[in-house]
A and B are shown apart, each in its own frame.
Chain A
């Protein structure tokens, strides 16, 4: 049973507009959430993260929002650029005793296409 869910397999957005990628989780023990970006034939690369003590984290064009009560997070990309076209994975982790933040539970990914 998937503990991290990305229900949209794909998203298509025009260049310059906002891209919003969504993610839901079921495990209440998760307290650290990450977004990874993946190009074909490459490994995932870390994009942005958020701890459960925050509800927003911003890094340049990328902002992640966390709604703990709804067990939902979203990644906003503004403005979107063609180079942002990639698969985006949502991931969650627990910082509990004995855990490491690299022990991740991934969603199935969302293919973002940004067209000119």
Chain B
């Protein structure tokens, strides 16, 4: 049982490049989330998907897009990366009334 799997684990991008962070969960959870963690800032919600077919903005959605591909997969896309998007990105999943389970994170550096 892998839980929440994120790929890649590390990525370096040049300013203006695009990329997609992948996330998959095998716990049959309905809800999935993307958070970013910055030094001294805790984790902040970028986007979430309460159920398959729906997505909603979180606290810091600017510069990102998401796709809930199916119940298992939730991807995060940076269309034109900026240095301010240098961060550690965490995907998470949950049932509606249980705590969220997090992946191992993707460390992204934009130069």
Contacts and interface: CB of A to CB of B under 8 A. Distances in A.
A61 to B, nearest CB: 19
A43 B40 contact: no
Contacts of B58: 103
B85 interface: no
Given A43-B90, A109-B42, A101 B105 contact: no
A102 B42 contact: no
A107 B14 CA distance: 31
Given A101-B94, A102-B94, A46 B48 contact: no
B100 A46 contact: yes
Q: On chain B, which size bracket covers the interface? A: 20 to 34
B50 A100 contact: yes
A101 B42 contact: no
A79 interface: no
Nearest to B31: A100
A49 interface: yes
B31 A104 contact: no
Contact of A95 (B50, B90, B97): B97
A101 B99 contact: yes
Interface in A13-50: 34, 36, 41-46, 49
Contacts of B92: 43, 102
Q: 8 smallest A-B Cβ distances: which pairs?
A: A102-B94, A43-B102, A102-B100, A106-B42, A108-B42, A106-B43, A100-B31, A46-B99
6 contacts: A46-B100, A89-B42, A100-B48, A101-B100, A103-B58, A104-B45
